[in-house]
């Protein structure tokens, strides 16, 4: 999850060239052994992981923005508390994932810099706006729901620190998903105005949620190598289908209508058929042309800039303290 842009850039694709080290490395992976930070690993493996994990971390952090929008406006104190706890969890996910990336030899400062300069990507889903309270429900239900689909297989990822971080993250994401669904349930059982709000949120978030799984398998260049390295265990389309199959009955339960006229149960496949994703939109948002790309980066940038004097002061203070300790 949160890494859908990865499938585009083929620059880490390096063929296994048959050296002994590589053969041994692949053998360990095939035996389902975990690779740990100090172990030898091919450059491409390291680069792919850095890109994937940091993209995931950035997504957690940028993802705090659309939801953070509604903390001050949550409709009840209980909902406010739940939302605060959720957003706090996302910051925690960002932190574990940055730490996991650091085990691969990149510093957090470098990672932040990559995010702010636009060099590193984050999940496009967070470039969509949260316009009503129902969006907080829809994000929990659909976005955290899609995240879980993607992340559960990552708990068995070959890279130890990432796999372990994912175990912890997944537990919290499933809690988020339930809370989101509960918001949608409350709205869909509420007044006409609330149902309208819920339906509108579903209309806006459904397709972007499907895009979270990345390009279709036909266009996805990286999958084979990532699969061989057990960084990825299922293809984009497999996971997307799984998500659709799980989510459609939930929408029915809510009494909401999926914004897809092609959506239909296919008895022979044992899956739901669904309409064509607007890939044009997907690539545009990825390029920076989504509704909130500029706002999201600007918000991170201004938090970073406004906090510069605070971080500098903390460093200065720590140095003074250290000198005092040495002098004493």
Which residues of the chain form contacts with Fe ion (CB under 5 A)?
60, 90, 93, 144, 173, 176
Q: State the minimum distance, in angstroms, from the CB of residue 128 to another protein.
A: 16
Answer for the pair 213, 151: CB distance below 8 angstroms, yes or no: no
Nearer to another protein, 166 or 184 (CB): 184
Judged by CB under 8 A, the residue of 117, 287, 312, 322 near another protein is: 312
Interface with another protein, residue 71, by CB under 8 A = yes
Q: How many residues bind another protein (CB under 8 A)?
A: 48
- Which token pair is 198? 């819920």
Give the DSSP H or E segment for 273. Answer: strand 271-273
In terms of DSSP H, where are the helices of the chain? 20-30, 43-62, 64-68, 77-102, 108-116, 133-138, 145-151, 160-188, 192-211, 223-228, 236-254, 279-287, 293-306, 308-327
Count of other CB atoms within 10 angstroms of residue 48:
23
Give whole-number Cα distances, 214 to 23, 193, 218, 232, 241, in Å.
30, 34, 11, 13, 12
Q: State the minimum distance, in angstroms, from the CB of residue 108 to another protein.
A: 9
Mask of contacts with another protein, 146-185, x by CB under 8 A? -------------------------------------x--
Alpha carbon distance 125, 243 (integer Å): 16
Judged by CB under 8 A, the residue of 88, 107, 117, 266 near another protein is: 88
Instruction: Look at residue 22 and give the partner it binds from Fe ion, another protein, none, a contact being a CB closer than 5 to 8 Å depending on partner kind.
Output: none
Mask of contacts with another protein, 19-58, x by CB under 8 A? ----------------------------------------
Going by C-alpha positions, the residue among 153, 176, 185, 35 that lies closest to residue 104 is 35
Judged by CB under 8 A, the residue of 20, 267, 276, 306 near another protein is: 306
Answer for the pair 248, 36: CB distance below 8 angstroms, yes or no: no
Answer for the pair 116, 303: CB distance below 8 angstroms, yes or no: no
Instruction: Look at residue 23 and give the partner it binds from another protein, Fe ion, none, a contact being a CB closer than 5 to 8 Å depending on partner kind.
Output: none
- Which token pair is 142? 């659909």
Instruction: Look at residue 301 and give the partner it binds from another protein, Fe ion, none, a contact being a CB closer than 5 to 8 Å depending on partner kind.
Output: none
Q: State the minimum distance, in angstroms, from the CB of residue 248 to another protein.
A: 25
| DSSP letter for each residue of 55-87 | HHHHHHHHTHHHHHTTTTT-SSHHHHHHHHHHH
Give whole-number Cα distances, 77 to 5, 187, 189, in Å.
37, 17, 20
Q: State the minimum distance, in angstroms, from the CB of residue 200 to another protein.
A: 14
Judged by CB under 8 A, the residue of 65, 104, 166, 169 near another protein is: 65
Q: State the minimum distance, in angstroms, from the CB of residue 211 to another protein.
A: 23
Judged by CB under 8 A, the residue of 9, 24, 73, 171 near another protein is: 73
The residues, ordered by sequence, that sit 6+ positions from 177 with a Cβ below 8 Å of its Cβ are 140, 141, 144, 145, 148
Mask of contacts with another protein, 120-139, x by CB under 8 A? -------------x------
Interface with another protein, residue 313, by CB under 8 A = yes
The CA radius of gyration of the chain, in Å to the nearest whole number, is 21
Strand, helix or coil at 226? helix
From 87-95, 140-148, 206-214, 277-285, span contacting another protein (CB under 8 A): 87-95
Interface with another protein, residue 249, by CB under 8 A = no
Q: State the minimum distance, in angstroms, from the CB of residue 179 to Fe ion.
A: 9
Going by C-alpha positions, the residue among 121, 305, 294, 143 that lies closest to residue 213 is 143
Residues that bind another protein (CB under 8 A): 61, 64-65, 68, 71-81, 84-85, 87-88, 91-92, 94-95, 98, 133, 183, 186-187, 190-191, 193-194, 299, 302-303, 306-314, 316-318, 320
């Amino acid at each position: 999850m949160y890494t859908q842009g990865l499938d585009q850039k083929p620059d880490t694709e390096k063929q296994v060239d048959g050296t002994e080290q590589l053969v041994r490395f692949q053998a360990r992976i095939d035996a389902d052994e975990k690779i740990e930070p100090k172990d030898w690993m091919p450059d491409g493996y390291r680069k792919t992981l850095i890109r994937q994990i940091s993209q995931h971390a950035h997504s957690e952090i940028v993802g705090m923005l659309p939801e953070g929008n509604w903390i001050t406006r949550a409709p009840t104190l209980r909902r406010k508390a739940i939302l605060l706890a959720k957003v706090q969890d996302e910051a925690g996910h960002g932190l574990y994932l940055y730490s996991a990336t650091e085990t691969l030899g990149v510093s957090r400062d470098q990672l932040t810099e990559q995010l702010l300069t636009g060099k590193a990507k984050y999940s496009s889903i967070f470039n969509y706006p949260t316009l009503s309270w129902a969006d907080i429900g829809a994000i929990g239900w659909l976005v955290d729901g899609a995240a879980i689909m993607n992340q559960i297989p990552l708990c068995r990822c070959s890279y130890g620190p990432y796999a372990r971080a994912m175990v912890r993250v997944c537990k919290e994401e499933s809690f988020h998903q339930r809370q989101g669904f509960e918001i949608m349930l409350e709205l869909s059982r509420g007044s006409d105005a609330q149902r309208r709000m819920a339906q509108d949120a579903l209309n806006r978030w459904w397709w972007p949620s499907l895009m979270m799984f990345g390009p279709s398998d036909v266009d996805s260049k990286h999958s084979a190598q990532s699969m061989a390295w057990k960084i990825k265990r299922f293809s984009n389309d497999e996971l997307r289908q799984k998500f659709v199959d799980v989510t459609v009955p939930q929408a029915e339960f809510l009494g909401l209508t999926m914004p897809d006229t092609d959506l239909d149960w296919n008895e022979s496949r044992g899956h739901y058929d669904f309409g064509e994703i607007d890939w044009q939109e997907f690539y545009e948002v990825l390029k920076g042309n989504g509704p909130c790309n500029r706002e999201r980066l600007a918000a991170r940038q201004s938090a970073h800039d406004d906090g510069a004097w605070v971080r500098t002061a903390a460093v200065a203070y720590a140095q003074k303290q250290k000198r005092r300790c040495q002098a004493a």
